[in-house]
Structure 1
Amino acid sequence: MDQSAGAPPGRIGRPVVPAQEVELKLEPTLEAADMLIGSDLLPTGPAVARLRSIYFDTPGQDLRKAGFTLRIRESGGRRIQTVKAAGPGAAGLFARPEWEQPVEDDRPLLDVTTPLKALLGDNYKYLGPAFEVLVERRTWMVSWEDATIELVLDRGEVVAGDRRSPLCEIELELKRGSTAALFSFARRIDIAVPLRLGLLNKAERGYRLLGPAARAVKTEPVALTPDVTTAAAFHRIAGACLRQFRLNEALIDPRDGEAVHQARVALRRLRSAFTIHKAIANDGQFDRLREELRWLAAELGTARGLDVLIARCDAGGVRERLEQARQQAYGDATTVLASARARALMLDLSEWLVRGDWLTQQSATEAREQRARDFAASALDRFRKKVRKRGRDLVDLDDATRHELRKDAKKLRYAAEFFAPLFQTRRQMRRYGRFLETLEKLQDELGLLNDAVSTPRLLARVGLDRDPGAAFLITTIEEKAAMIEAAAEAHDAFADTKRFWR
């Protein structure tokens, strides 16, 4: 199998792990799945099977918390138990150590062939069914370019107690050949039928059913360890951002603005990750991908801006017109997200993260293999210096320079959040809390100033710039002066805060 598949080397001298499967997960609609079955992309006569999978965990979800899944899958009277360890599935490409063995019934078999009994200790006695996945599976073996690819289409549902969720997904597993062919085939399918990059495996779908319905998905810490390389850290950070975006994309709804907000946060964080890691990632695709991310974030900007304005309005004519404009903005955003350009961007990013030229550029070899902790300390120093320097005499800066300061502060905050797991002594964690607190305060104050500058433009865009009823949304000279003073005080407090990484 092509050695470019999967994440870049994560640790110097890392131990050998069990054999891994490499697959690309895609999400079609039910209609798109029917179109694919009827297309000439697939050979005739797929293997068809009905699968019932029971996933097990303790009442406290100890397996999920430890990054493992345990299932027993039954098909045609035969049962297979599978244990999987969490892997880098954040960008659609999954590579997970796994352990399989046949079992006689629906009771898990925990022995020395898997790590679960040692992991759970006495809690293994509390293992029980958590949820089920019921699907009809169609399987094709496809020859494409230099590769043999297994295409699996699953349609069915996830069941957890009295809650159910439909499931329709495609998995492309590379049996032979290069990862490039895997993505090439995915793009060819997307030309025929629209596809979205898949992020959730079946276990994650089940666990989501067990909890409350999500309004939005916020940023989660990235799993970085002290011995991780800079290349592996970037891969994980970017993959986590891509995952956050896709999960929020599926939740975007004009009745609740939180998902579109978090989707834009994810895109900003991803663009910042590009900037932070430019020294190792700047290859022939770097600038194009970063600009495409800028385009996509901008396409969601009007919807988010109108959400912010509406939150400041009471009932009345102005609010009604803003609500109408928001409905249009959300419709436009939905159209963009479903476009071929946006879908292609997700596949391009996913492929670039696992086999882009940045992984093999000779000029950046030393930087890629550098300990992420050392790289992070230098990057944080650089961005902190930039924010401190640009914010001097903040009261005297013009709007454009304050906006640049705001962007620098965001990059520093995101870098701090990305790299925090690399600095975990008690003193570092204490300093991190204070550092982030003062940086967030500065970012908030600069954000208010940015809103004050951008609001007139947004009102003009929706035809309300000359409406007297909307005048209260415009910041007065006195209000802006007070905001600038508050931002300057926040900058001074930040500038005096100690670094957590030194």
Structure 2
Amino acid sequence: MGQDVELKLDLAGEEIVDLVAAGLVSGEPVVLARHVVYYDTPDRALRAAGFSLRIRKDAEGYVQIAKAVGGGIASVFARPKWERNVENDTPVLDDTTPIRAFLGRRADEIQPVFEVATERRRWSVLWEGTRIEMALDRGSIVAGDRKAPIAEIKLKLEDGKPDGLFSFARRLGAVMPLRLGVLSKAERGYGLTASPARAVKADPVALVADMSVSAAFRTIAHACIRQFRMNEDLMEDGGEDAVHQARVALRRLRSAFSVFNLLLEGETGARLADEVKWLAGVLGSVRDLDVLVARCKDDALRARLAEARATAFREAAATLAGPRARALMLDVEEWLVCGSWQTQRRTREIRTQPLADFAAGALDRLRRKVKKGGRDLADVDDEARHAVRKDAKKLRYAAGFFAALFDRKRQKRRYGRFIDALEALQDRLGVLNDTADMPEVLARLGFDEKALTAFTKTEPQSSAGMLAAAAEAHEALIDTKRFWR
């Protein structure tokens, strides 16, 4: 496992300390200047099929690299990479790669899409008995008239235990504002060719039936971390969509901890779950104000709420930039790679059971909680309804995590109906929860009870009507057939 560990760390700013002066590296680095051009068709057919095509120019000449990067048609090829020397920056698309066979005449439409120019400085580092290859990349990505800077560090474990690599990453983070990197240069380049994203929703989780339960948890957790980090990078302008999706990513990660809790017993897992909850709460204060601003019908009050929201966002941004938040994703990543939860004897039976069986059992447990908690939903108090809402969210996220394992035609149909019913329940419980929480949130912001009148007209139904609708949605969900059975 140790030999496969790599870490990418994004610099939050472009200022880079003198690594030699800081005592982190020694000696002169190997310096490599590279210019890479990525190619695709105008409608991005290569990317959709799971291929990438690039030509790299460095001191040794031109190298063309075609690669199966996962998903699409490329996933059927056992060989992941086709590399050859070429004379210049014009792609050679013959039978040495599958690209022309796949595209046919459309291969003639392939053209440059974006280019990446970097200077790489590379050191070999010995840290706490661990040999690490460290590469510092600086440069830019250019796609048409759009440009993005590159400032990132890659760490590759060459010899020793993974713990040493993470220890060195933390030492780097103590002298530079680093965050865990999740995007490749190719992904960033393609991002420049599209309309700027306001937020990133969760992608389907790529689980397969023969995957171990441990590997499934790692895959799910990595997907959540990726979604969070991508939205964190989009939050700089304060957009509410990115804030919301970053918070969704953290809630999904917390749900993953809960779904796999029988596998993850131990102090480290509990501490990390609490830290993820803390960070979600930081963003929650901003999200609460987004909801109030959107529902407020009084212009003067809405302006005051917008000002409070701006203050809350600045405070959240400062927290995200701080050492505790920056270290959290790295801590989770280390625990996923090195944690003892993967080898504990008492969880061996859980780890070795078929993944589909584990998933079905987890979904059954969560459904039972929602079913039991939702009995007499119209007659329970706000706290009990909120508990049902949280359990319904966990069930919704777990269903998304495991959907790929139940992909027969009938199961897919049932999945769609089940999610529709679950979302209907969540929507109705969400309205009830927002209404119940509003007085407390407004009071916390220093507003008196009169402020509530600015929101009363936003609800088209009476309280009794909303409760009845929620109870009806709960009954419909319980009557909906389970897609995993």
TM-score (norm. length: structure 2): 0.92
CA contact (8 A) 1:150 1:172 kept: yes
User: How many Å separate the matches in 2 of 1:120 and 1:61?
Assistant: 11
State how 1:290-439 maps to structure 2 within 5 Å.
290-314=273-297, 316-439=299-422
Q: Which residue of 1 aligns with 2:111?
A: 128
The Cα shift of 1:23 comes to: 2.2
User: How many Å separate the matches in 1 of 2:194 and 2:414?
Assistant: 33
The Cα shift of 1:38 comes to: 5.0
Question: How many residue pairs were aligned?
Answer: 477
Q: Work out which structure has the larger RCO, using CA pairs closer than 8 Å and 6 or more positions apart in sequence.
A: 1
Change (3 A) 1:164 1:31: closer
| Residue 454 (str. 1) matches residue 449 (str. 2) | no
The Cα shift of 1:80 comes to: 2.6
- Which residue of 56, 59, 64 maps to 1:81? 64
Change (3 A) 1:267 1:154: same
**Aligned residue identity for 1:148:** R
Deviations 1:324-359 (A, max 9, x none): 110110011101111111111110111111221111
Deviations 1:335-387 (A, max 9, x none): 11111111111101111112211111222223223222111111111111111
- Which residue of 471, 474, 485 maps to 2:453? 471
User: How many Å separate the matches in 1 of 2:237 and 2:443?
Assistant: 21
State how 1:248-327 maps to structure 2 within 5 Å.
248-253=231-236, 255-314=238-297, 316-327=299-310
**Aligned residue identity for 1:390:** G
The Cα shift of 1:115 comes to: 5.6
User: How many Å separate the matches in 2 of 1:176 and 1:298?
Assistant: 39
**Aligned residue identity for 2:289:** L
- Which residue of 47, 55, 58 maps to 2:30? 47
Q: Which residue of 1 aligns with 2:142?
A: 159
**Aligned residue identity for 1:166:** P
User: How many Å separate the matches in 1 of 2:288 and 2:367?
Assistant: 28
User: How many Å separate the matches in 2 of 1:87 and 1:282?
Assistant: 33
Q: Which residue of 2 aligns with 1:238?
A: 221
**Aligned residue identity for 1:195:** L
The Cα shift of 1:270 comes to: 0.6
Q: Which residue of 1 aligns with 2:74?
A: none
Deviations 1:306-339 (A, max 9, x none): 0010011246221121111101100111011111
Change (3 A) 1:119 1:24: farther
| Residue 147 (str. 1) matches residue 130 (str. 2) | yes
TM-align CA RMSD: 2.4
- Which residue of 168, 182, 185 maps to 1:199? 182
Change (3 A) 1:172 1:120: farther
Change (3 A) 1:408 1:482: same
Deviations 1:214-251 (A, max 9, x none): 00001111112232222222111111011000100111
**Local SS of the residue matching 2:235:** coil
Q: Which residue of 1 aligns with 2:165?
A: 182
Change (3 A) 1:315 1:471: closer
**Local SS of the residue matching 1:395:** coil
Change (3 A) 1:221 1:390: same
Comparing 71-80 and 429-438, the one that deviates more: 71-80
User: How many Å separate the matches in 2 of 1:27 and 1:482?
Assistant: 50
Change (3 A) 1:416 1:163: same
User: How many Å separate the matches in 2 of 1:314 and 1:253?
Assistant: 28
CA contact (8 A) 1:399 1:453 kept: yes
TM-score (norm. length: structure 1): 0.89
CA contact (8 A) 1:276 1:415 kept: yes
Comparing 68-77 and 202-211, the one that deviates more: 68-77
Q: Which residue of 2 aligns with 1:91?
A: none
**Aligned residue identity for 1:281:** L
Q: For structure 2, which runs of at least 5 residues remain unmatched after alignment?
A: 72-78
CA contact (8 A) 2:439 2:452 kept: no
**Aligned residue identity for 2:206:** A
Q: For structure 1, which runs of at least 5 residues remain unmatched after alignment?
A: 7-21, 89-95
The Cα shift of 1:108 comes to: 3.4
